[in-house]
Each structure stands twice: as C-alpha cells, then as structure tokens.
C-alpha cells in the first residue's frame, strides 16, 4: 500500500511539473505592425496575431502570452498569444 501511494504521489508531481506554463501579460499601445508576419509590436514584444487588419498603430491592447521557451525568457518563435483584447481604438 505504501509503495502504491509513493508511486501515485511521484506521478502527480511529474504531471504538475510538465503542465507548468510561462505566461505573462503584455499591455500598451501598438507601436509597429508587420503585416507580412502578422505581428504587432507592443511594449517591447512582437506578438503574433490573427486578423492583423483590425489593428492600427496607437491601438491599446492587453494580451495574455505564453512562452514555450525554456525558463523565464522571451523567444519570438516560441510565443503563443492565448488571449488578446483591444482596449482602445482611437481611430
């Protein structure tokens, strides 16, 4: 019985570590738009977006971003935008 409980706890710990995500929030005005790569530049980060045509320079967005890069780092190719919200559209 003890062995079963130990194995179960070990498996739960491993699953917990594997599910860890590096998520962070980016908020601010859109400073640049790259239509060719479908990315917007906000607060020092290039963010891949769908429907690039709805964004304009100066729009204020907030986004939840996930990095699949190792550790707590920003690697443009390893970024996934989980959620993005257009807060202001001054135009």
Contact 80, 57 (CB under 8 A): no
Q: Model pTM?
A: 0.69
Q: Domains of the chain by range and CATH?
A: 20-86 (2.40.50.320)
47-81 pLDDT, tens digit per residue, is 999 999 999 999 999 999 888 777 666 677 778 88
Q: Is the pLDDT of residue 2 over 70?
A: no
> How far is residue 36's CA from residue 1's CA, in Å, rounded to a whole number?
59
Confidence of residue 39 (pLDDT cuts 50, 70, 90): very high
pLDDT at 66: 86
pLDDT at 46: 92
3-state secondary structure of 64: strand
Contact 65, 26 (CB under 8 A): yes
Q: Which two tokens stand for residue 25?
A: 């929030």
Cβ within 8 Å of residue 11, ≥6 positions away: none
């Amino acid at each position: 019985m003890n062995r079963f409980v130990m194995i179960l706890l070990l498996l739960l710990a491993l699953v917990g570590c594997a599910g860890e995500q590096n998520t962070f929030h980016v908020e601010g005005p859109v400073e640049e738009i790259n239509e060719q790569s479908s990315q917007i530049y906000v607060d020092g980060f290039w963010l891949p977006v769908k429907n690039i045509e709805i964004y304009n320079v100066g729009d204020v967005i907030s986004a939840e971003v996930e990095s699949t890069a190792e550790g707590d780092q920003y690697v443009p190719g390893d970024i996934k935008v989980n959620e993005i919200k257009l807060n202001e559209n001054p135009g």
